[in-house]
Amino acid sequence: MTDHLKVKLSRALTAAGIILYVPANFLPVMTITLTGQVESLTVMGGVVELYETGLVPVAAVVFLASVVVPIVKLVSLSWLLGLHGSEVNQSRRMKVHLFLIRIGTWAMVDIFLLSILVAVGQLGILASVQAEAGALFFAAMIICTLYAADIYKTHMIWQQPMPSST
């Protein structure tokens, strides 16, 4: 695959990630049933629930991994790809790209925690945890950003744009 196609694919994956971010945050990611009380939680609802139950450090980690990191990734990827072929801030863009590669998989911590909650939280009528549609959108958004950052290689930041064929 040529670098030109890689840029286009990276842009498409970033756009898909931005689109998927909306339902990932507005749809419930899990439903918790405790002694007959059913509560569906969005990402922020889960953060608030953790905070209110006194698990402030866990709430902070979930907030960082679920809200801050995806927004930073989407904004950074948009910035990198928007400036592709430009000589503006090339060294800074390279550092941002390397940062995105390093933090990439940490956003999947949420999906990992949810899978553990679903597996462990099955206590019959007393308690249960069920994954919901928001988790699927969240995982898809994370996968899009992981691939977008991986496909757009660091050396491509230093390339000049291809001349138009007119």
Domain locations in the chain as residue ranges: 3-157
Nearest of 141, 142, 121, 118 to residue 131 by alpha carbon: 118
User: Would the pTM of this model clear 0.95, i.e. be above it?
Assistant: no
Mean pLDDT value of segment 23-34: 90
Cβ-proximal residues to 86 (8 Å cutoff; 6+ apart), any chain:
161
User: In sequence order, what E strands does the chain have?
Assistant: 30-34, 37-41, 127-131
Q: What is the tens place of the pLDDT at every residue in 116-162?
A: 877 877 766 677 888 899 999 999 999 999 999 889 887 777 776 55
